[in-house]
Amino acid sequence: MSARTKARKRAIDILYAADVRQISIPESLATEAERAASEPARLASWLYARELVDGVVDHREEIDELIETYSQGWSLARMPNIDRAILRIGIWEILYNDAVPHAVAIDEAVEAAKILSTDDSAGFVNGLLGKIAQTAPSA
């Protein structure tokens, strides 16, 4: 597993923990930062995980609006917590990280959904991120 894939998983965990524990994302990030400080071997994945989470925090309103717009009948509150986390990270990578091609951001999000979420989530994530990628500037 690549360092970036590990970082995405850590970022998903941080966003998911914030949702489930009903705490702020910065609070969830701080908890993970404490753990990361004691695990120097995981530094490579931690740096990008933090960039992902910080990016989601910085653009959350716009990201959530896009999820609501393109999810066709699924409100944020109605979708599984893990799907929200995966989508937020995928959208941030598509819109704000020029170093990640859109196809890679989508593939990584779909793989995460296959492993971490429901049977229907991978298709949902793929369709929603695909629509957003079509409207976004090319990476």
Quickly list DSSP for 75-135.
-TTTS-HHHHHHHHHHHHHHHH-TTS-HHHHHHHHHHHHHHHS-TTHHHHHHHHHHHHHHH
CB atoms within 10 A of CB 135: 10
Sign of CA dihedral 30, 31, 34, 40: negative
Name the band, by pLDDT with cuts 50, 70 and 90, for residue 56. Answer: very high
Q: How many domains does the chain have?
A: 1
Structural domain of 93: 3-135
Q: State residue 32's pLDDT score.
A: 87
Looking up residue 41, the CATH number of its domain turns out to be: 1.10.940.10
139, pLDDT greater than 60: no
The CA distance from 103 to 21, in Å, is 32
User: What tokens were used for 64?
Assistant: 């959530």
| Mean per-residue pLDDT of the chain | 92
Over residues 13-34, the mean pLDDT reads: 92
Mean pLDDT of the region 33-55: 85
Range from 47-56, 72-81, 95-104 carrying the lowest mean pLDDT: 72-81
pLDDT value at 44 more than 90: no
Local confidence band at 42 (pLDDT 50, 70, 90 cut-offs): confident
**Tens digit of pLDDT for each residue in 79-127?**
999 999 999 999 999 999 999 999 999 999 999 999 999 989 999 999 9
Q: Which residues are within 8 A (CB) of 101 and not within 5 positions of it... i.e. 6 or more apart? A: 139
pTM: 0.92
